A and B are shown apart, each in its own frame.
Chain A
Amino acid sequence: MSIAAKFEIEYLQYLDAEGKQVRDDLPEFAKNLDHMVELYKLMLSTRVFDAKSVALQRTGKLGTYASCLGHEAAHVGIGSAMKPEDVLAVSYREYGAQLYRGVQPREVYMYWGGDERGNDYQNEPARHDFAWSVPIATQCLHAAGSALAFKIRGEKRVAVCTIGDGGSSKGDFYGAINIAGAQNLPMVAVIVNNQWAISVPRKIQSGAPTLAQKGIAAGLYCIQVDGNDIIAVRKAMEDALERARNGEGGSVIEAVTYRLGDHTTADDARRYRGEQEVKDAWAKEPMKRLRNWLVAKKVWDDQKEEAWKAECDEWMDNEVNAYLETKTQPVTAMFDYTFAEVPADLAKQRDLVLSHENKGH
């Protein structure tokens, strides 16, 4: 038998569920314990932020919200590996990556609280990132187009998109990785496989043993990592970003994690998955293992944990207050950004809406 081509998918993990180091060749960034503490702190603040968001929704102060509980290692691993000049195109729950790049919690609250200004990220580098993309997988092609722009202009920048296990079933994802391979684009696609697309489990999305291998058909580098192990996520990202930046090709990274919360606050996951599965997933969640590892390295302890949590609480309270104090936009705001300038025909409709407003209806 002659073989036309042969492939394999590497699996990468540094820390097991208990925080025990399973391999000795730690990447450079992980040898910098101050930096690892910083990453842990951002993961923790992401978790505090997320709990606050859900509480806001439950008390009627926020619309539907998509929680990121359990994704902290994957998201912070992605965001922290990127350079400021890179571009991030997310779906709608990658807050850990976005907070790292300067998105403010108040902006997240504004978006889910019914105000478009939440998408107008004020801080760089998030300001040049894409806004949340609700139509599944469409953002992958925005990353491919961005990567093509970088290639045309000769810029050493990389476009990163994130996608779920469900999203990796969509044509937009396949189209994006396909053109990234065909044109050798500086693009990295991260499948954050959290096992559930609302109520549909991973096994219904694809018969492929890994989702990472989808990138093989596109001619990209592919790797599956423990998505609850931030060292593994970050290392795979760094390698992928460097290759892409140097014109050596794009990548697909599958970060295997678990959606510990509901799909959104409008969902009730108890309808379709068992308690034992969720309990097992909690045993592998990302915070504990990194905390154990940092504690063993003597750079973290309960006192520091409590102090940082208190700081996060204060930060989030401040953000919540800023959000709650935000005045609703004037009714004409729905017209003002439809085009660069309001066309004459549309201006008549704006005037009509304004006259209704002035009459109080």
Chain B
Amino acid sequence: MAQITLIEAVTQALAYEMKHDDSVVVLGEDVGVNGGVFRATQGLQEKFGELRVLDTPLDETTIAGVTVGLAVQGMKPVAEAQFEGFIYPMMEQIACHAARMRNRTRGRLTVPAVWRAPWGGGIRAPEHHSEANEHLFTNIPGLRVVLPSSPARAYGLLLAAIRDPDPVIFLEPKRIYRQYKEEVPDDGEALPLDVCFVLRDGTDVTLVTWGAQVKETLEAADELAKQGISAEVIDVATLTPLDFDTIAESVQKTGRCVIVHEAPKTAGFGAEIAARVAEECLYDLLAPVERVTGPDTHIPLFRLEMKYLPSVERVVEAVQRTLAAS
């Protein structure tokens, strides 16, 4: 069985679903002959033709609105926003129509669509190519916001997103697109949405994270283990609707919670998790909740971007503070 990267897993999921479901179409800028600027749609146009793998005019609003129209007509469009920083013109169509179509028509019209976008910093890209803005979508009712963090989860969650009857924002951590390979059987098996994944069991502290930061967080857990600290690591994966029960169960066990994300701190999705921990787990806590996040600034251009992103050391330090507190 072939070992594949996260980006190859995205391609594999798209190809599988297009082969098995004629209503699945891919659209966006450069998704055709070029196979996408990151090659997520590599080879798909050859296999499925120019109409099902459609290069659109260069207008994000058009891509988003046409996606809504396609979905209402019973297609399952997978739209690509070339970079997360270019998704803003799509937001009106996503918030005002895709996310509320089912609700405002009492279920008469629905939008079973996926918006994919390469997400996050750390690849020395130009300005506007490194944003982490998942929190702008998590506050929109009617949307699922999904962030895979491994090739296998990218494959299984993308299949689930395409098959889901409601709109899904699928944010792909581009920093780990090609970071490592793993075996991902092309068996069409979807993973569940609305579920957090416990990646590592531990007893002293719960580390909650998603996207590319899963890498640093797991490395921090390794480092902490050397210090005799047992960290549980949770990949939230689907931010909304949130599976808070998995997080609560872990925090009740460990008594400590450190949330790691690269988006700005204030009103980032970590704030929601911290608030829930306060609401539901306060008396289980042995130390204040810590957040290790990007600061409330714009992500700098690439000479400084790694200073912006949470590092293994910052995560380890935060955990040590929670242990020192009790």
Report A's interface with B, CB cutoff 8 A: 87, 89, 116-117, 119-121, 127, 130-131, 133-135, 138, 140-152, 159, 171-172, 175-176, 178-179, 182-183, 334, 337-340, 343-346
Contact = CB atoms under 8 A, between A and B. Distances in A.
A138 B92 contact: yes
B241 A343 contact: yes
Given A131-B108, A171-B61, 6 more contacts: A87-B73, A135-B92, A144-B66, A334-B103, A338-B102, A339-B166
Contact of A119 (B70, B96, B104): B104
B109 interface: yes
B252 interface: no
Interface in B224-257: 241-245
Interface string B47-87: 00001101011010110111111111111010000000000
Contact of B142 (A116, A143, A146, A338): A338
Interface of B: 25, 51-52, 54, 56-57, 59, 61-62, 64-75, 77, 89, 92-93, 96-97, 102-110, 141-142, 165-166, 194, 241-245
A172 B25 CA distance: 21
Nearest to B59: A175
A201 to B, nearest CB: 25
A57 B72 CA distance: 32
Contacts of B166: 339-340
Contacts of A145: 65-73, 77
A127 B106 CA distance: 12
B74 A149 contact: yes
27 contacts: A87-B73, A119-B108, A120-B106, A121-B108, A127-B108, A130-B109, A135-B96, A141-B61, A141-B64, A141-B68, A142-B65, A144-B69, A145-B66, A145-B70, A148-B70, A149-B74, A150-B73, A175-B62, A179-B59, A179-B66, A182-B57, A337-B102, A339-B102, A339-B142, A345-B241, A345-B243, A346-B241
A251 B74 CA distance: 24
A189 B93 CA distance: 19
Contacts of A116: 103-106
A120 B71 CA distance: 17
A76 B67 CA distance: 29
Contact of A179 (B56, B71, B241): B56
Nearest to B89: A171
A152 B93 contact: no
A104 B143 CA distance: 31
Contacts of A144: 62, 65-66, 69
A151 B51 CA distance: 9
B105 A149 contact: no
B142 A142 contact: no
A172 B109 contact: no
A344 B57 CA distance: 39
Given A130-B109, A142-B97, A339 B61 contact: no
Contact of A138 (B73, B74, B93): B93
A149 B69 contact: yes
A356 B61 CA distance: 40
